[in-house]
Amino acid sequence: MSAKKIQRQHRRMQCFGVIMLVVLCFGSILAVVGISNSIEKIHENIIAKTPDAILASAGVTEGQNVKLAVSYYDQKADPCVNLYDKANAEALNDRQFEWSECGYYNKNIEQGLVDYKLNSKFELVGSGGELLPNKGVQDINRWFNNVDGKSQSYSGSLMLTYRQEDTAFVFEDEKFYPLDEVAFSEGDFVNTDGHNHLFTMNFAVPFTVLASGEESLEIKADDDTFVFVGDELAIDLGGIHDAIKGELLITQDGEVYSGIQDQEPAYSGINVKKDEGAVIRIFHADRDADGSEFNIKFNKMSLNVVNTDFANADDGVQIAYDPSDPSYVAPLGESLVVHPDTTRGYLIMAMVEGMVIVVVAIFSVVLAKSLLNNKK
């Protein structure tokens, strides 16, 4: 073989090597890009069906505030009257708030103060039971309505903090006085320690049922606290009492279990459906001047949240809920739930993309070699 032929063959081999290297590099880049894009899709659509991943997709991060819209009602203390004087029967019937200063009540849970279902307007209604000194409830109309000289409504909020460690939205306040700045009950005889005592509040939290078996709600408060799932009563912490804990659990079958204090949670008779929207509604009353505590924790729950910029610089997300239509449950918005089947689909897609690109790269190399051989 002549030197020129050997030189041409050597150049062909060099050219082939360069082409093979370029094709393989280009194919590898395409494979990496394709797999990365599929993985990015998985990340964007939440590959793990867990609340922390879902909340992360809505922009919620560790320590970030979540703002709940709350309706507050400032309540004036009723005057102390003699329980045993029949002439005071009308005054007793009207009496709803402040028993501690008057000295005649028992601090204890009093269940059955309200009906087990909300009315058609999702309003709390009383059971109409006999008035008792330690219950003090016969007409609860003023609790969540404006009543001249007795109660006044205020729009406000409750700021929950997202805790990534245990995947929970949390609010904790052992000295909970949200209406200290309002003037309606200013000068009330129970407001002697710088706090505005005696108030009520209610709010709603829409969520999407995961039925993971790990969703739960913990609440600890004094005094009356009623938790409804939809329009059905799940936790009854009625009465004037110290801070008492209630708990609500959702099973994998969508059954709602509830319990109070150290009681083992029991089936409440309430059911929710997996992947469908539901609403938790909470009604709370602080009915005496002996402290005020309110704590709530949503564990591993997919709260329906949307990205929101607040004018008051409280950056975060806001619960998607329309107070003008209590039956409305907002869609998930940017918070998505993807089933494991969908996740597997994305992974398979990534693998197929990678395999196709590698096959194309090998085919290109073989084709290039064939062309070079034909030129010999």
Q: Which residues pair with 370 in a beta bridge?
A: none
Of 160, 146, 153, 151, nearest to 65 by C-alpha is 160
Residue with tokens 């409280």: 314
Residue with tokens 């909300």: 118
Burial class (CB within 10 angstroms; exposed 0-12, middle 13-18, buried 19+) of 280: buried
Tell me the pLDDT tens digit for each residue of 65-84: 777 888 899 999 988 887 77
Tell me the pLDDT tens digit for each residue of 230-282: 999 999 999 889 999 999 999 999 999 999 988 899 999 999 998 888 889 99
Query: What are the structure tokens assigned to 37, written together?
Result: 């894009």
Sorted by sequence, the CB contacts under 8 Å of residue 157 that are 6+ apart come out as: 67, 68, 69, 70
| The pLDDT of residue 368 | 64
Sorted by sequence, the CB contacts under 8 Å of residue 295 that are 6+ apart come out as: 171, 172, 173, 174, 218, 219, 220, 221, 243
What is the Cα–Cα distance from 257 to 251, expressed in whole angstroms? 8
Q: Is the pTM of this model over 0.75?
A: no
**Domain extent listing, the chain:** 3-47+339-374, 51-319
> What are the two backbone dihedrals, phi and then psi, of residue 333, each rounded to the nearest 5 degrees?
65, -125
| Beta carbons of 42 and 53 less than 8 angstroms apart | no
Tell me the pLDDT tens digit for each residue of 192-219: 889 999 999 998 888 888 898 999 999 9
Sorted by sequence, the CB contacts under 8 Å of residue 375 that are 6+ apart come out as: 12
Burial class (CB within 10 angstroms; exposed 0-12, middle 13-18, buried 19+) of 353: middle
| The pLDDT of residue 93 | 67
Residue with tokens 């028992």: 106
What is the Cα–Cα distance from 305 to 284, expressed in whole angstroms? 23
